[in-house]
Structure 1
Amino acid sequence: MTATHPPHATPLPRGERERRPRLDAARGVALLAMAVYHACWDLTFVGLADFDLFENPLWLAARTTILSSFLLLAGIGLVLATERGLDRPRYFRRLGRLAAAAAAVSAASYAVFPDSPIFFGVLHHMAAASVVGLLFVRLPALVSLLAAAAAFAAGQSFGFPLFDSPWLRWIGLTSFAPDSNDFVPLLPWISGLLVGIALARLWPSVGRGVLPGGVVGRGLALAGRHSLAVYLIHQPILFGAVWLIANSGLVPVESPATRSFQSSCVASCGQTGGSAALCEPRCRCVQSAITATGQWEAFLADRLDAQGRAQIGAAIQSCAAR
């Protein structure tokens, strides 16, 4: 009787890697979660929604979970890609694609958001971390876990003015948080990739098995196999669609400046003893009244003349009297 072997038992040529559909699908789930998060960011940016993405603990936890899942899967993938030895041409092709994509993201962000560009985002991090990670792919899992703990602790606990330099900020030991729309420094975030390396060392069969979920599962796995392409194209498509909706005139749009005014107005009203039930409608009244005078842009830019100040003063008094 001839013995049969599962497909993964057949030696593969160097440079080829057994596809693990469950890992592809997991990457697809992470991409879907990321797209939802980015859509919420886009809606908030153009004024169609007001998600508290940078202060609300649930949103902060969501961002951390999504980003950590990508880094963990990257660590697993790095171990699997080198399990039969490092295929240098394949590795450097992938590294080159990551570096080129990161450069493209930076260039686009400098053009669109010159005040908060992406100079070291998730793609920059994954390119750098995939180089550092090579030092750990053959080491015991415990070493990677200890290094992950040290990286996390250092990134969370230390900050030095020396690392505030634009040339050193990517390390992550800055004394302040740089103004960037996507800042993913080496410390503490490389801890996610190191945990993935340790997981792959402890669980060599990770990701094997039948792909669950039918058509949905296959779709997620397909997206996961082309994660870099999906990452690069999803945000321009989402942002373009949201921008078109915001500028169609079909839905009301509250700009960031309006939200900032409302927030500061309500806070000032509350400091004088007003309740939220009183302050919020009063501040909306003031904003509407200023807009009606045609002085809203001048008010925001602090360019009011005497007549404009008198008009706005009368509008504020009218709202306060209601």
Structure 2
Amino acid sequence: MFSQRIFTLDLLRTFAIVLMVVFHFIYDLKFFGYVDWNTPDGEGWRSFRHVILISFFLCLGASLRLSHGTRICWRKFSIRLLQIALSALAITIMSLIMFPKNYIYFGVLHFIAVASIICIGFASQPKLSIGLGIIIITLYQLNIVSGLWPFTTIRPYLPSYSNDYVGVFPWLGVVFLGIGLGATNWFKNDPLRHFRKHPYLALPGQHSLVIYLVHQPLFFALFGLLTLL
């Protein structure tokens, strides 16, 4: 278990959370009628979202490796998992109230909770993780496994479109690749450590869960107020 933070990991999380805030800001501009851009599913916007998800999930895998690769700290893991699971539940409840036809039943935080449970046992096996990651992504790309799995059997009872959906396939594969990334000497040597002289760059990455939970309610409050005015 690493005692010193990897600055590169915090910077990558900062990159991901900043892009997500920008993405949601643009989405909210469309939602409140300020622009008519085809977000989030239009050409280019979907790729933008994929960059964000890849960044987050590589961080998740690398973090699992660095924190639990030698020995799983179950107390630390359980506390973090509980925080994420409760946050995911809160998002589902709020989205069900606000968007009952398009509520979020398996979004980013739901996926992170499930992927953490699945991948924690592989944190000490980076080579196997890389192999599993490649297999999972390949199965998805070849259309052998649906991105809707395991919800295919209950699909009629779920929204036809969710405001945020992250499929187990292929994204679980990215988490497994993140475990492999976290095991490399290149990553463990903290290649972006020279940015430590700018510690504020890492702050968003160190508090990504809080930012994730807070930024959308703030945007909705802001745009709602502007709409009323």
Count of residues in Structure 1 that have an aligned counterpart in Structure 2: 224
Question: What does residue 177 of structure 2 align with?
Answer: 195
- Note if 1:150 corresponds to 2:135: yes
Superposition TM-score, scaled by structure 1 size: 0.64
Question: What does residue 205 of structure 1 align with?
Answer: 188
Judging changes above 3 Å, is the alpha-carbon distance between structure 1 residues 243 and 74 closer, same or farther for their aligned structure 2 residues? same
Question: What does residue 232 of structure 1 align with?
Answer: 213
Q: Give RMSD over aligned pairs.
A: 2.5
Residue of structure 2 aligned with 1:88, choices 71, 74, 87? 74
Unaligned runs of 5+ in 1: 1-13, 249-322
- Note if 1:41 corresponds to 2:27: yes
- Note if 1:24 corresponds to 2:6: no
- Aligned-pair CA distance for 1:208: 5.6
Judging changes above 3 Å, is the alpha-carbon distance between structure 1 residues 162 and 35 closer, same or farther for their aligned structure 2 residues? closer
Judging changes above 3 Å, is the alpha-carbon distance between structure 1 residues 44 and 139 closer, same or farther for their aligned structure 2 residues? same
Counterpart-to-counterpart distance in 2, 1:196 and 1:91: 17
Question: What does residue 134 of structure 1 align with?
Answer: 120
- Note if 1:62 corresponds to 2:48: yes
- Aligned-pair CA distance for 1:125: 0.4
Q: Which runs of 4+ in 1 moved over 4 A?
A: 160-163
Contact 1:200–1:206 (Cα < 8 Å) also in 2: no
Larger Rg over CA atoms: 1
Counterpart-to-counterpart distance in 2, 1:213 and 1:238: 30
Counterpart-to-counterpart distance in 2, 1:40 and 1:155: 29
Contact 1:118–1:181 (Cα < 8 Å) also in 2: yes
Unaligned runs of 5+ in 2: none
Counterpart-to-counterpart distance in 2, 1:161 and 1:66: 22
Q: Which has the higher contact order (CA 8 A, sep 6+)?
A: 2
Question: What does residue 242 of structure 1 align with?
Answer: 223
- Aligned-pair CA distance for 1:52: 1.2
- Note if 1:184 corresponds to 2:169: no
